[in-house]
Structure 1
Amino acid sequence: MADLQDELQPLPEAGDLPDTAQTAPSAPQPPASSAASALERAKALLAAHPVVDGHSGLPWALRDLPWYDLQLGESSVDSDVVRLREGHVGALLWSLQLPERLAGERAVGATLEQLDLVRSVIAAHPEGLRLARSAGQVIDARNCGRVAVVLGPAGAAALDDSLGILRVLHALGLRVLTLVGASWAGEAGLTRFGEEVVREMNRLGVLADLSGASDATVGRVLALSKTPVLCTRSAARSLRAHPDNLSDALLAELGAAKGLCLVPSSPERTGGGVQDVADHLDHVRAIAGPESVGLSGAHDSGDAPEVAPDYPHLIAELLGRGWPESDIALLTWGNMQRVLRSADFAARAARERRKPSTVRITELDTTDV
């Protein structure tokens, strides 16, 4: 098949952006030739370093559609293969989180149903999508002209407080788990069983997603985890006071631990426009460092952006702000690849030292639950 970028359709020039994404009328406007040059540089960079998008709610959005074709284009959802290629997306995380607050067996069953749907969707679109379970498979998918799909995050409720279920979900392809919605990861932080969950995730190679977790939980996981963590839909709390966004202190801790804050294009979390998202990226990069910032479209997740900045225009905006190309390559592709590789390597080492945990929550959290 042709290279991923061969099928790209022409994108609008910078002057064609929606009014809400333009620079304020009172601000000086860059020359048209300069804006066009930045956009061309952005496209060239993305051709070499495509985006790993940290959060897509597409599986849930597809569940009630009687028929769809993501390969040719699907107007019933926010994203499809055509638009992913237009946006230079080389890989993405498909969320298995449940909008409804299900618990116990219902949460397990609903998550398994989403896993089944995802596998069917990927099988039905072999020319556009490929399931990836590791950093190497993400690269293989890109080299074959496919968009790599990494499964997760799923919600913690999907475990039903069972490490055995965690292992089964990992065997089915799950690679990211959000530590929210469980008794063992709350406002006070991790319980003893919660700490055992994180250790078993490290042993398996399942990444912890801390978006929406309490500050105490974020701090404890950063201290405990042997692999970098993700915040799949978090931005800077000092710029926008959303509960999922991170304080400067937590951003600094995340940077020190080489974790990754995936800044979303979201009206609630960042404002959603090109300049809004770029402001948060600037701030996260300044506090956590260029190795700890990434991108999250947050499409089809109930938090779809009102003004969706396509990635070429967003990267052009960052170039105009003085971002070096090396930092942009980390932002779009390199940082997520590093985190995935770290999880793979740490899991291999942990499996040599540690057997699968059979601990039950009642053995550790009898006073906590």
Structure 2
Amino acid sequence: MADLQDELQGELRDERQDEPHDPSEVPEPPVPRTDPYAAPPDPLERAHALLARHPVADGCSGLAGALRELPWYDLELGESAVATDVPRLRRGRVGALFCALEPPEGHAPDRALGATLEQLDLARAAVAAHPQGLRLARTAGEVLDARNCGRVAVVLGPAGAAALDGSLAVLRVLRSLGLRVLTLAGTAWASEAGLTRFGEEAVREMNRLGVLADLSGASDATLGRVLTLSRTPVLAMRSASRALRPHPDNLPDGLLAELGAAGGVCMVPLTAEQTGPTLRDVADHLDHVRAVAGPGSVGLSGAYDTGAAPPQGLTDPSGYPHLVAELLQRGWPETDVALLTWGNVQRVLRSADFAARAAQKRDRPSA
């Protein structure tokens, strides 16, 4: 009898296993227990972990001009004569570096093109001499490839628009040499009155070539017209909040809002003159730009080796994790920090690349 009861119970168990289960009866997985007395994660550790996935795209470096004065240098081992070298870039989790090609102060105005080409040659030579740490990148895809290979992507630009000397053929030649960003301030065709007819044609040709417009230092009229005319997002590569610090290159809230609505990026410079003398001052500007323009329109420009005094705690690129840790402590979501450091710049580069491919199939070079 006991054997018969065991056999019947076994059959009943098999039948119940074959029947469909009510999802409400499925037991929930156990919730992992957390130690209520454990210390919260260190903000600096969180910053390093986040930057390992979303490194910094530094919007402006004066490295090429600084190397001009050195008879010999080694950026891969470390170079104390400049603020930027490969070890410090890696400690700061920098994945991309925009290399400024603007001529040094005091150059003759009629030598703007020659001085720009000299800067470009210095930047390309520095990258070629340090292949284990640096890699030249012309497109958003090449920037990503360089990061995945453990190299810092070097993007050429911004360069001053005075180098064009009124010729769009010069713009095309500079683009063929790798130029990605052109600063429109300081030219007769992008003045306080706005863009001239040549200036408008220059913006269209920049769109066709994939050259991004940098509007730092440009007049309000020029900025507004470029935002209307450009088919791709624009950059303000060295601009912070004028509401917090009344520097002429900083942007008022109205223009910050317009820049954000157009998908552009305001890249806050780490300089004591424009943002303040401390790391917290820089974070205040980032908070303000994020609030006014939106999290998709804020970025970073180290401005190292440009001659500008850096804030305390951010004396070279290795300080970026400390700035990110400060933002995390202020309650920035990690998604917004990822946009700040990497995502926004990559989006703008990809947009310019896509628009340029489409325009080159559709439009002829401008004369």
Q: How would you bin the TM-score normalised by the shorter chain?
A: 0.7 to 0.9
Q: CA RMSD in A?
A: 1.4
The alignment status of 1:313 with 2:332, answered yes or no, reads no
Structure 1 residue 203: Cα displacement = 0.2
Cα pair distance change 1:255/1:348, threshold 3 Å: same
The whole-number CA distance in structure 2 between the counterparts of 1:70 and 1:45 is 25
* Secondary structure of the corresponding residue to residue 295 of structure 1: strand
Cα pair distance change 1:165/1:104, threshold 3 Å: farther
Structure 1 residue 35: Cα displacement = 8.8
Q: Report the equivalent of 1:235.
A: 240
Q: Report the equivalent of 1:7.
A: none
The alignment status of 1:179 with 2:188, answered yes or no, reads no
Q: Report the equivalent of 2:133.
A: 128
1:48-87 equivalent positions in 2, closer than 5 A:
48-87=53-92
The whole-number CA distance in structure 1 between the counterparts of 2:110 and 2:257 is 38
The whole-number CA distance in structure 2 between the counterparts of 1:67 and 1:106 is 26
Q: Report the equivalent of 1:334.
A: 343
* Equivalent position amino acid for 2:312 in 1: V
Q: Report the equivalent of 2:264.
A: 259
Q: Report the equivalent of 2:31.
A: none
User: Do the aligned residues in 1 keep the contact of 2:270 with 2:310 (CA within 8 Å)?
Assistant: yes
CA deviation profile, 1:2-47 (whole Å, cap 9, x unmatched): xxxxxxxxxxxxxxxxxxxxxxxxxxxxxxx979711111110001
Greater shift, 306-315 or 258-267, is seen at 306-315
User: Do the aligned residues in 2 keep the contact of 1:266 with 1:298 (CA within 8 Å)?
Assistant: yes
The alignment status of 1:98 with 2:92, answered yes or no, reads no
Structure 1 residue 186: Cα displacement = 0.6
1:204-219 equivalent positions in 2, closer than 5 A:
204-219=209-224
Q: Which runs of 5+ in 2 are unaligned?
A: 1-37
Greater shift, 67-76 or 304-313, is seen at 304-313
Structure 1 residue 64: Cα displacement = 1.6
The whole-number CA distance in structure 2 between the counterparts of 1:101 and 1:200 is 29
Q: Report the equivalent of 1:354.
A: 363
* Secondary structure of the corresponding residue to residue 274 of structure 2: coil
Matched residues, number: 326
* Equivalent position amino acid for 2:356 in 1: A
Structure 1 residue 274: Cα displacement = 1.3
The whole-number CA distance in structure 2 between the counterparts of 1:256 and 1:349 is 23
Greater shift, 92-101 or 189-198, is seen at 92-101
Q: 2:113 aligns with which of 108, 117, 122?
A: 108
1:240-319 equivalent positions in 2, closer than 5 A:
240-309=245-314, 310-319=319-328
* Equivalent position amino acid for 1:339 in 2: V
The whole-number CA distance in structure 1 between the counterparts of 2:151 and 2:245 is 35
The whole-number CA distance in structure 1 between the counterparts of 2:189 and 2:108 is 13
User: Do the aligned residues in 1 keep the contact of 2:233 with 2:263 (CA within 8 Å)?
Assistant: yes
The whole-number CA distance in structure 1 between the counterparts of 2:359 and 2:212 is 14
Q: Larger radius of gyration, structure 1 or 2?
A: 2
Cα pair distance change 1:320/1:110, threshold 3 Å: same
Structure 1 residue 99: Cα displacement = 3.0
The whole-number CA distance in structure 2 between the counterparts of 1:235 and 1:157 is 24
User: Do the aligned residues in 2 keep the contact of 1:265 with 1:273 (CA within 8 Å)?
Assistant: no
The whole-number CA distance in structure 2 between the counterparts of 1:147 and 1:105 is 34
Structure 1 residue 254: Cα displacement = 0.2
Q: TM-score, normalised by structure 1?
A: 0.86
* Equivalent position amino acid for 1:226 in 2: R
Structure 1 residue 102: Cα displacement = 4.4
The whole-number CA distance in structure 1 between the counterparts of 2:247 and 2:105 is 20
The alignment status of 1:165 with 2:170, answered yes or no, reads yes
User: Do the aligned residues in 1 keep the contact of 2:273 with 2:309 (CA within 8 Å)?
Assistant: no
User: Do the aligned residues in 2 keep the contact of 1:51 with 1:90 (CA within 8 Å)?
Assistant: yes
CA deviation profile, 1:260-286 (whole Å, cap 9, x unmatched): 000111111001421001000000000
Tell me the percent identity. Answer: 73
Q: 2:205 aligns with which of 183, 195, 200?
A: 200
User: Do the aligned residues in 2 keep the contact of 1:49 with 1:332 (CA within 8 Å)?
Assistant: yes
CA deviation profile, 1:128-152 (whole Å, cap 9, x unmatched): 0000000000000001110000000
User: Do the aligned residues in 2 keep the contact of 1:190 with 1:220 (CA within 8 Å)?
Assistant: yes
* Secondary structure of the corresponding residue to residue 275 of structure 1: helix
* Equivalent position amino acid for 2:85 in 1: D
* Equivalent position amino acid for 1:337 in 2: Q
Structure 1 residue 305: Cα displacement = 0.4
Q: Report the equivalent of 2:194.
A: 189
* Secondary structure of the corresponding residue to residue 145 of structure 2: helix
Cα pair distance change 1:52/1:272, threshold 3 Å: farther
The whole-number CA distance in structure 2 between the counterparts of 1:239 and 1:104 is 33
